[in-house]
Amino acid sequence: MVTLKSPREIDTMARAGRINHATLERCREMVKPGITTEDLDREAEKFIRSHKGAKPSFKGLYGFPKSLCISVNEEVVHGIPSPKRVLREGSIVSLDCGVCIDGFHADSAITVAVGKIAPETQHFLDTTERALAAGIEQARLGNHVGDIGHAVQAVAEAEGYGVIRELVGHGVGTKMHEDPQVPNHGKPKRGERLLEGMTIAIEPMITIGDYKTKMLADKWTVVTADGSLAAHFEHTVAVTRDGPRILTDGR
């Protein structure tokens, strides 16, 4: 069931979103060769909890043990932070963060270069971020969920990248995952109609190779089946009369 949020509820989500953005920016600055994914997680949790009433949404969600999902290189999503996981020069790392305040969640992700990366890898990251922007642009009254997926897919596939099918964006609000599903592929004018007060997480998960994925033995980490690099960018967006309102971009 899709729940529509009042302007006041959207403002509460925007407060969660601002903390989410600040958390990710703090972690982005920490990313460098030699740091562990556990270091990033610990800082994120401490920073989120330093805001009165704010909690990390992911900790304990479906039993997930940490505050951030941190996924390196061919890992797509849901990587578990670990003191054994040391970031290496030339890698890419996806940081996915959820923040809850006054019962409402915000969900956002970025993919960051570790030290110096290859120009084609940077282009891959830039394209995935551009795919997210194209999807957000379609989050307008009268459009459908398919318009978002179509826009994301068009940007990614124009560069020959793979659009992951098994994982999708989602409604977000009092629960981290609500209806509707927001796939990163689709056809214009198909799927759920976008209504005023919908709040959705738009989150392209793109690979530099094939789009097929598999699950690691930890039953959390999703990796590309062909071992190619994966990128993930995400914003929580409200559909409003004035167009898409991004709640996790720090404004």
Residues in the site for Mg ion, rule: CB under 5 A?
96, 107, 109, 201, 203, 234
Kindly state the smallest distance separating residue 118's Cβ from Mg ion, in Å: 26
| Minimum CB distance to Mg ion smaller for 43 or for 234 | 234
Kindly state the smallest distance separating residue 167's Cβ from Mg ion, in Å: 9
| Minimum CB distance to Mg ion smaller for 26 or for 90 | 26
DSSP H/E element including 97 = strand 92-101
| Minimum CB distance to Mg ion smaller for 101 or for 201 | 201
Residue of closest CB approach to Mg ion: 201
Amino acid (one-letter) located at 94: S
The answer to whether 35 and 26 are in contact (CB under 8 A) is no
| Minimum CB distance to Mg ion smaller for 98 or for 191 | 98
Cα angle 101-184-70, degrees, rounded to a multiple of 5: 50
Kindly state the smallest distance separating residue 3's Cβ from Mg ion, in Å: 16
Distance CA(24)–CA(129), nearest Å, equals 15
Kindly state the smallest distance separating residue 96's Cβ from Mg ion, in Å: 4
CB burial readout 203-241, b (16+ within 10 A) else e: bbbbbbbebebeeeeeebbbbbeeebbbbbbbbbbbbbe
| Minimum CB distance to Mg ion smaller for 129 or for 226 | 129
Q: What is the DSSP string of 132-150?
A: HHHHHHT--TT-BHHHHHH
Kindly state the smallest distance separating residue 201's Cβ from Mg ion, in Å: 4
State the number of CA atoms in the 13 A half-sphere of 16 facing the CB: 31
